[in-house]
Structures are given as structure tokens and as C-alpha cells.
């Protein structure tokens, strides 16, 4: 089954402009599973809501009819969040590196 939530441009993205926190978390979850091998829900101490709020602020400055740009902003924030979760996970696993 092909997912509707890509990580950094792979696959498809939902065909609407109103992204929600649920869409964000599902995309981050898929990215975490691909990068780390575990679910984003297995790492509850990361402030996902803060990243979502920054994503919402950036999406507010993009015209609603500019689907391509809105998709790009959403993907960029998902990728940023996945990278940050991965880095934080690495630091927790290997604190003395």
C-alpha cells in the first residue's frame, strides 16, 4: 500500500492545502520509521507540537492556492523534524560522543 505521506519528496502528498497536526505527525512517523526504525510515538519526549506550530506559521505566509509551495513547506518541516528527532535520539543513545 502506497502512503500519502512522503518523507522529503518520496511518494505522494495529500491533495489539499489544509494540513493538520495529524497529517504532520503521520508524515513524521513515516520518516522516523524510515530513518531510525521506530515510530515517532516511541519517542514522546520530543516537542512535536512546537515544530508543528512553526510549520503552521510558515504555511500562513503562503497563498492557499499555491499548492506546490505549501507542499514544499510542509515537506521541509517534516524533514527538519525527522532530522532533529534522529539527532536527539543519537545524543540520548551516545551522550559522550
pLDDT at 42: 84
Distance CA 74, CA 92 (A): 27
The pTM assigned to this predicted structure is 0.78
Low-confidence ranges of the chain (pLDDT < 70): 1-17, 93, 95-97
pLDDT at 78: 95
* Domain ranges within the chain, ordered by starting residue: 21-93
Q: What are the respective helix, strand and coil percentages of the chain, to the nearest 5? A: 60, 0, 40
Amino acid at each position: 500500500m502506497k502512503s500519502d505521506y512522503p518523507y522529503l519528496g518520496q511518494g505522494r502528498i495529500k491533495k489539499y492545502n489544509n494540513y493538520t497536526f495529524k497529517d504532520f505527525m503521520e508524515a513524521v512517523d513515516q520518516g522516523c520509521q524510515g530513518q531510525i526504525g521506530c515510530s515517532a510515538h516511541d519517542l514522546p519526549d520530543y516537542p512535536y507540537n512546537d515544530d508543528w506550530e512553526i510549520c503552521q506559521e510558515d504555511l500562513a505566509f503562503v497563498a492557499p492556492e499555491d499548492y506546490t509551495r505549501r507542499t514544499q513547506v510542509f515537506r521541509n518541516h517534516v524533514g527538519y523534524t525527522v532530522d532533529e528527532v534522529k539527532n536527539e535520539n543519537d545524543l540520548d543513545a551516545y551522550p559522550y560522543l
